[in-house]
Amino acid sequence: MFSKATEYALRATIYIAKQGTEEKKISIEEISKAIDSPQSFTAKILQLLTRDNKVVSSVRGPNGGFFLTEKAKNLPVRAILQAMEEDQLLEKCVLGLKLCSELQPCPMHAQYKTIKQQLIKLFVTKTIRQLADDTLEGAVFINNKKPRKK
Amino acid sequence: MFSKATEYALRATIYIAKQGTEEKKISIEEISKAIDSPQSFTAKILQLLTRDNKVVSSVRGPNGGFFLTEKAKNLPVRAILQAMEEDQLLEKCVLGLKLCSELQPCPMHAQYKTIKQQLIKLFVTKTIRQLADDTLEGAVFINNKKPRKK
DNA sequence: ATAAATAAAGATAACTTTGTCTTTATTTAT
DNA sequence: ATAAATAAAGACAAAGTTATCTTTATTTAT
């Protein structure tokens, strides 16, 4: 569905939101290890997310790193997609038509539309904080590690 | 959502199913013009769809071209995705995790799952014939032309 | 002030996808 | 048989994505 870059962006942001605060910033090394992503590539992606501190905030130097403000944690997950410029994907015609609307629908339009609407709703109503909280509680995961037997 | 190649595959197959029969085959030139796709690239894609006549059938030489058997027209749209090897996309974790299941879900899993199920259902229950018939009736479209005023 | 730790920026490489062009094989009509 | 029309196959090119490495800028601690 999304590009690798956006997948890493989503996982990295959730991890930072979960582990970090303005007082406890997270280094790129920790992030990429935690989410199983290539470190330098992830650094590049975080540069997009920190543009104008839109989603992620960062500080350089010792004890620097990444964090999300409390305000940023309340952003919808869609804000990550927007920062990655992969937001239009949610609106796109499934057959790739430039023109696909109620007036001139593609053959999948009517039925795909309702699925798209649910997708959009999901990304708009879910906040970064909600995802991070779930992860903190250990109910869900954002790495590729095999589950440990209880 | 899908690659360009798969978008062209979907549009081309629908067009062939709509316009062609075993008696009236459709040339790659006509197809690519009708669906607004690059001709040579579309030819390559149709080679994938004609492998073992899985979805599309073809004949070379004068009056040759592409068509779908009546049987092929009854295939689910998902058969096109399978031929394009883009079928796994419907099952993939939205965060790109290799491991994402009920046992070890990503933070989006529970809610994304229901959307995925609807997507799969759509591609499994819709047949190529249904899409082609809708298009024939002029209710829906598979090109990028501006709608004509009535 | 200096050194160390960190992210930002930039250059580049590897790989994939998309697209084009040329040659070959097959089929039909004459 | 030959020529023409078509798809198939293969080589290549262009563009985009993913990934790495090096250098620079910033911040902190000493």
CATH number, position A73: 1.10.10.10
Nearest to B95 among A10, A98, A104 (CB): A10
Percent of chain B with pLDDT over 90: 89
Q: Which domain holds residue B101?
A: 4-136
pLDDT at B54 exceeding the cut of 90: no
Q: How confident is the model at residue A144 (pLDDT cuts 50, 70, 90)?
A: confident
CB contact under 8 A, B107 and A142: yes
Number of domains observed in the structure of chain B: 1
Which one of A10, A92, A99, A106 makes the best mutation probe of the B interface by having the most chain B beta carbons within 10 Å? A106
B49 close to B79: Cβ distance less than 8 angstroms: no
Within 7 Å: CB of B55 and strand D? no
Q: How confident is the model at residue B52 (pLDDT cuts 50, 70, 90)?
A: confident
In a domain, B27, yes or no: yes
CB contact under 8 A, B144 and A8: no
In a domain, A80, yes or no: yes
Which chain A residues are within 8 Å of B95, Cβ to Cβ?
Answer: 7, 10-11, 142
* pLDDT computed for residue B144 by the predictor: 87
Cα B18 to Cα A37, B66, B68, B73: the distances in Å are 45, 12, 9, 9
pLDDT at B85 exceeding the cut of 70: yes
Nearest to A107 among B94, B103, B140 (CB): B140
In a domain, A19, yes or no: yes
- Name the residue with tokens 């798969």: B6
Which one of A117, A134, A141 makes the best mutation probe of the B interface by having the most chain B beta carbons within 10 Å? A141
In a domain, B143, yes or no: no
The CA distance from A102 to the nearest CA of chain B, in Å, is: 10
- Among A111, A55, A118, residue whose Cα is nearest residue A84: A55
Percent of chain A with pLDDT over 90: 89
pLDDT at B91 exceeding the cut of 60: yes
Distance CA B67, CA B61 (A): 14
* pLDDT computed for residue A24 by the predictor: 95
Nearest to B111 among A10, A92, A122 (CB): A122
Beta bridge partners of residue B57, listed in sequence order:
B67
Three-class secondary structure of residue A66 per DSSP: strand
* pLDDT computed for residue A3 by the predictor: 98
- Among B12, B7, B132, B8, residue whose Cα is nearest residue B74: B132
In Å, the largest CA–CA distance within chain B is 57
Q: What is the pLDDT of residues A39-67, one digit of tens each?
A: 999 999 999 999 976 899 999 999 999 99
* pLDDT computed for residue A145 by the predictor: 81
In a domain, B82, yes or no: yes
In a domain, A141, yes or no: no
B34 close to B14: Cβ distance less than 8 angstroms: no
* pLDDT computed for residue A53 by the predictor: 67
Angle at CA of residue A91, ends A85 and A96, nearest 5°: 95
Within 7 Å: CB of B96 and strand D? no
A18 close to A8: Cβ distance less than 8 angstroms: no
Which helix or strand (DSSP H or E) is residue B40 part of? helix B39-50
Instruction: Provide the mean pLDDT of chain A.
Output: 95
Q: How confident is the model at residue A146 (pLDDT cuts 50, 70, 90)?
A: confident
Instruction: Provide the mean pLDDT of chain B.
Output: 94
Distance CA A78, CA A131 (A): 12
Mean pLDDT of A106-125: 97
